[in-house]
Amino acid sequence: AQTVTQSQPEMSVQEAETVTLSCTYDTSENNYYLFWYKQPPSRQMILVIRQEAYKQQNATENRFSVNFQKAAKSFSLKISDSQLGDTAMYFCAFSWEYGNKLVFGAGTILRVKS
Amino acid sequence: ETGVTQTPRHLVMGMTNKKSLKCEQHLGHNAMYWYKQSAKKPLELMFVYSLEERVENNSVPSRFSPECPNSSHLFLHLHTLQPEDSALYLCASSQDYQHSYNEQFFGPGTRLTVL
């Protein structure tokens, strides 16, 4: 069975600094998709960034980028120039190549401090 | 209304009650999902519907009964729940079920408390 592990239950960062959230996963699949979703306090969960496993190039979306290490089964999220609005629970998620169903990690609470 | 909406936002029910959660998506999507978010546990996928047909049932107890009358609406009927069923129930939708790359759009959730 696929599992997703986020080893950092909580993290904090100063505004404007950079923070990296960790995620590891376990799968025997060769192709799959990985996602980071963000759940702000009392607000809806939204997609931050996604990565296809067969693409070696790391995905980037503005201040958000990933470090995808397929052999190590690692998928970390880097947030640059952290903003107060980045305060949220961040979930790493795995999906098979076909069949859009997500397996989530336990989440990391990120607090951005002014 | 835009995106994915859920009603009610909060629900308190006794173990013998019958209630229903409602989800509606205004995105023209063909796949809809129910997730359970418990404290200190990862989100758990409960059910998936694709074009109104149930395609996934993740060993969910029969006291949870989903219904998808059309591609825009999804219900979760609740009957004889247990206190451990208290959680945030999230609905999501995506363009389709086949393509895993598609983003899932989430509703705000229903906070359920079972007394």
Segment A8-66, tens digit of pLDDT: 999 999 999 999 999 999 999 999 999 999 999 988 999 999 999 999 899 999 999 99
Residues in chain B closer than 8 A to A102 (CB atoms): 43, 45, 104
* Whether pLDDT at A106 is above 90: yes
**In this predicted structure, what is the pLDDT of residue B1?**
64
Interface of B with A (CB under 8 A): 3-4, 31, 33, 40-43, 45, 48, 55-56, 90, 94, 96-104, 106-109
**Position B87, amino acid:** A
Q: Does A43 touch chain B (CB under 8 A)?
A: yes
| DSSP-H helix ranges across chain A | none
Mutate to test the interface with B, among A44, A89, A92 (most CBs of B within 10 A): A44
Q: How far is CA A52 from CA A57, A59, A85, in A?
A: 9, 9, 27
**Position B100, amino acid:** S
A41: number of Cβ within 10 Å? 8
Out of A4, A91, A95, name the one closest to residue B100 (CB).
Answer: A95
Out of A33, A102, A106, name the one closest to residue B45 (CB).
Answer: A102
Segment B42-63, tens digit of pLDDT: 899 999 999 999 998 888 999 9
Averaged over A68-84, what is the pLDDT? 97
* Whether pLDDT at B40 is above 80: no
Which among B89, B52, B50 has a CA at the least distance from the CA of B68?
A: B52
Contact B100 A45 (CB under 8 A): no
Is the Cα torsion angle A95, A100, A106, A112 positive or negative in sign? positive
3-state per-residue secondary structure call for chain A: CCEEECCCCEEEEECCCCEEECCEEECCCCCEEEEEEEECCCCCCEEEEEEECCCCCCCEECCEEEEEECCCCEEEEEECCCCHHHCEEEEEEEEECECCCEEECCCEEEEEEC
Cα distance between residue B17 and residue B12, in whole Å = 10
Contact A45 B90 (CB under 8 A): yes
User: Average pLDDT of chain B?
Assistant: 94
Which residues 94-113 on chain A approach chain B with CB closer than 8 angstroms? 95-107
**In this predicted structure, what is the pLDDT of residue B100?**
86
Segment B104-114, tens digit of pLDDT: 999 999 999 99
Token readout for A85 is 């609005």
Out of A33, A47, A104, name the one closest to residue B42 (CB).
Answer: A104
Segment B73-105, tens digit of pLDDT: 999 999 999 999 999 999 999 999 988 888 999
